[in-house]
Amino acid sequence: MSGDWECYGSPESVAAMKRGATLWTLVRNDPRFAFYGRLIGLSQPVDNTAEVLAALARLQGAGVCYFLPKSDVPALFSTLESDGLSTDRHEHYFGGKAAYAAAKGVLTDYSLPSDLTVLRLDEDTPCSFIADAVTLMESCGVMPVPASFLRGKQGRGLCLVASDSEGKPVAVATSIFMHPKASPHAKTVFWGMLATRPDRRGQKIALILGAQAIVHMWEQEGARGFMTGVRQDNASSAALCNRLGVADTAWTYAVCVDPQTLGRKSVTK
């Protein structure tokens, strides 16, 4: 595929991204919604959260509410499940100025292994290299976004890829603006899609790339909040986030899934 429809990943992921991108053309200026290339989601709860999430799930395959209070999860999930839909959740991790300070500290204290080169994906990045980076993401359980977002052509953000001496991707980190200008979260960005090749884990590569993404988005793009979703049982991701000042909050990424449309459950990592 080419242009704004340049997508990589499994057929289910690509189909979901296409549905989300099409729907975004209709709601992109509505401050209730957010999008960073995967699926349209609710920024925060609304009066009819369950109805909106169910509608998003049936249109896209899944819908998510990013700032749902943890205390509201049982009632919401009960309502959605009684309507024949599946549910999922990631804990909402968030960092502001403390994340920027922590990221600066990481970059002062640590350096990447000498055989690695960091590339910021852009319009000139070969499709084959992006395809390899996406394969790495998916091997780590990370659903990618369309290449136009990874290249920085849409969504205003960046994707950093560390590659080895053979030019093969070793680790990835991404951060993208996701909320409309009228949203109360307009300066909050998605941060994550952290993935590291198994043979290079333990070298702090994802930590450093994640820190580089935070510093760039703060200093160059005006981001003032960094959010990501972490599963309750993912201790390694939680530890990395905490090291960068991105910590668990009172919110949850509450996910509603229509399995018949989507064909898979986890879409928010």
In this prediction, residue 6 carries a pLDDT of 81
If pLDDT is split at 50, 70 and 90, which confidence band does 267 have? very low
CATH fold for the domain made of 3-262: Aminopeptidase (3.40.630)
Give yes or no for residue 4 having a pLDDT over 70: no
How many CA atoms lie less than 13 Å away from 130 in the CB half-sphere? 25
Neighbours of 108 (CB within 10 A): 9
Q: Is the per-residue pLDDT at 3 higher than 60?
A: no
Show the beta-strand stretches assigned E in 136-257.
157-163, 169-177, 188-196, 225-230, 247-257
Domain boundaries, the chain: 3-262
The pTM assigned to this predicted structure is 0.93
- CA 213 vs. chain centroid, Å, equals 13
Measured CA to CA, the distance from residue 112 to residue 199 in angstroms comes to 15
* Low-confidence winner among 47-56, 80-89, 139-148, 222-231 (lowest mean pLDDT): 139-148
| CA 181 to each of CA 185, 199, 253: distance values in angstroms, whole numbers, following the listed order | 8, 41, 21
